[in-house]
Amino acid sequence: MRKGIQVVLNIVIIACSLAVFAQNSSLKKGSVNGKNYYEEIEFEFEKNKIIIPVEIEDKTYRFLLDTGAPNIISYEVFKAIQPKVITTIPTNDANRKKQNLDVVSVESLKLGKTEFVNSTALVYDLNGSEIFKCFGIDGFIGSNLLRNSILQINAEEQLIKLTDKSKRLELDRKTSIKLKLVGNQSSPYVWIQIKGKEAGREMVLIDTGMGGLYDISRNHYNIFKSKEIFNEIGQSDGASSVSLFGEVPVNNQLRLHVPKLIINNFEINNCVTHTTKDDNSKIGAELLNYGVMTIDFRNKRFYFKPKTKSYDINTPHLGYTQTIKSNKIVIGYVWDEELQKLINYGDEILSVNGEEVTADKLCDYITKTSKTEALKQIELKVKSANGQIVDISASKKELTEILDNFNIKQN
């Protein structure tokens, strides 16, 4: 049965759309000018977003490093460099929202001193999104640009190493696993293990543009749920993110406890995640907090050097999430059954622990680590859809308490 699940998942992943995916081979054009290159690039790392400097026509821009997407440049960069438009293609974001985007050829793009010539990129109005506007993003460096390179990311040192020679890096092939490049944007996928009372494997996208640790596709979970691997610890209608093409429609998702998540022999205990509408499950940039990641696109290998052999994420959890809607901070999913009687998706958060949430603080919410993350008790003032304003007291609950509420025993 377990082998059957693995085969089905593999077929599903190869056939489905990625975070930003287009059925067009133009995304694989371009090359690196030179061989035996090696770069060390410092980056910003805030809210698990990797921001790197990119030079185009002697001007330095701020790009998001996103291995779950192809190259993207903003309208502003497009107007400044006036690249050749190759074609226009239909594109899906992670939540299946669609737009037609121009594909352009960027004559010269530099990461450090390494030059990528005639690389392709999609053009999108990044400043039309509050999230990207707050981060000051001019574009994305995606997997299609990196498909012939080796990328090492060290979040502790905030340093990226980029090369075409694995010998330039301290790598032990015995500790690596196979990497599969999928689709026309060469998206990197690896197998991970998930264990509860029973065990399984899943092929996931290595997505450095995703801030979390592990998101599981609802479609994948529906295949796995016949096995005793995950523990369901909540269900909610809502939304948890803003996709590339705008607000995410309301959908029903599950909150899950993963007793054991194993990524390249690194064991993570007590991961709490939720299902998503995306076709693909993902491992995100939060993994970088636990060690050094190397994505060897060139030789199709994945390395992860952890700080410790295992890590237990046994922390208290809030019974709701927050997101953005109409440029306001609102309630996302409500997992706690008691809170579901008081708040709903879309309710506007007016204040947190007495501090007003105003429009001029929106970018701080998006780009800065929340001051309330270390607090166990959260006091909210919330405005419902009908205009009613209520005060809510929400306590973070220990994982053992959440599991006990669902009559689940920890392994």
Q: Would you call 377 exposed, middle or buried from its count of C-beta atoms within 10 A (0-12, 13-18, 19+)? A: exposed
- Shared domain for 161 and 247, answered yes or no, is no
Q: Is the dihedral of CA 88, 89, 94, 96 positive or negative?
A: positive
Tell me what the mean pLDDT of segment 151-156 comes to: 98
Does residue 219 share a domain with residue 306? yes
Residues 200 and 134 grouped into a single domain: no
Q: Tokens for 269? A: 């205990």
The answer to whether 228 and 211 have CB atoms below 8 angstroms apart is no
CB contact at 8 A, 376 and 341: no
Q: Which 3 state secondary structure label does DSSP give 40?
A: strand
- The residue-averaged pLDDT of 242-266 equals 86
Structural domain count, the chain:
3
Distance CA 305, CA 326 (A): 41
Of the chain, the end-to-end C-alpha distance in Å amounts to 22
> Is 351 inside a domain boundary?
yes
Dump pLDDT digits (tens) for 330-371. Answer: 999 999 999 999 999 999 999 999 888 888 888 888 888 776
| 186 lies in the same domain as 307 | yes
The pLDDT score that the predictor gives to residue 50 is: 97
Give the Cα separation of 277 and 308 in Å (integer): 32
pLDDT at position 242 is 64
User: What's the confidence (pLDDT) of residue 66?
Assistant: 96
Q: Residue 32: what pLDDT?
A: 96
Cβ atoms < 10 Å from Cβ of 84: 10
d(CA 64, CA 263): 24
Q: What is the mean pLDDT of residues 202-226?
A: 95
User: Does 142 share its domain with 187?
Assistant: no
Residue 108, sorted as left (phi over 0), alpha (psi -120 to 50) or beta, turns out to be: beta
Confidence band of 25 (pLDDT split at 50, 70, 90): low
Note whether residue 60 is domain-resident: yes
Residue 411: inside a domain, yes or no? no
**Final residue in a domain of this structure, among 165, 189, 205:** 165
Is pLDDT at 82 greater than 50 in this prediction? yes
- pLDDT of the residue at 411: 64
When pLDDT is averaged across residues 390-395 and rounded to a whole number, the result is 93
Residues 215 and 261 in one domain: yes
What is the residue type of 43? F
The boundaries of the domain holding residue 103 are 25-165
Asked whether residue 348 is assigned to any structural domain, the reply reads yes
Sign of torsion, CA 203 296 23 239? positive
**Average pLDDT score over the chain:** 89
Q: Mean pLDDT across the stretch 253-266?
A: 96
CA 390 to chain centroid, in Å, comes to 33
Confidence (pLDDT) at 6:
34
Same domain, 95 and 62: yes
CATH number of 370's domain = 2.30.42.10
Residue 188: the pLDDT is 97
Give mean pLDDT, residues 255-279. Answer: 95
Confidence band for 19, pLDDT divided at 50, 70 and 90: very low
Residue 57, number of CB atoms within 10 A of its CB: 15
> Residue 2's pLDDT band (boundaries 50, 70, 90)?
very low
Mean pLDDT of 86-102: 79
Q: Pick the last residue of a domain from 165, 199, 232.
A: 165
* 68-91 mean pLDDT: 93
pLDDT digits (tens, 9 = 90+) for 171-181: 998 889 999 99
Distance of CA 177 to the CA centre of its chain: 21
Per-residue pLDDT, averaged over 267-291, amounts to 95
Q: Which of 290, 312, 334 is the last residue of a domain?
A: 312
> What is the spatial distance between Cα 10 and Cα 361, in angstroms, rounded to a whole number?
43
Q: What is the CATH number of the domain that holds 87?
A: 2.40.70.10
Average pLDDT (287-293) is: 97
pLDDT of residue 364: 84
**161 is a domain residue:** yes
- Predicted TM-score (pTM) of the model is 0.91
The predicted structure's pLDDT at residue 96: 67
Q: Per-residue confidence at 21, pLDDT binned at 50, 70, 90?
A: very low
Please check whether residues 48 and 114 belong to one and the same domain: yes
Which residue is it, tokens 């803003």?
Answer: 242
The answer to whether residues 151 and 46 belong to one domain is yes
Whether the per-residue pLDDT at 8 is higher than 60: the answer is no
Q: Which of 84-98, 115-129, 320-334 has the lowest mean pLDDT?
A: 84-98
Q: Are residues 161 and 181 in the same domain?
A: no
Q: Are residues 219 and 338 in the same domain?
A: no
Mean pLDDT for the stretch of residues 58-80: 96
**Residue 174 burial (CB < 10 Å; 0-12/13-18/19+)?**
exposed
CA angle 84, 76, 359 (to 5 degrees): 150
At residue 99, the pLDDT reads 81
The label of the residue with tokens 């980029």 reads 162
Q: How confident is the model at residue 245, as a pLDDT?
A: 67
260 and 381 part of one domain: no
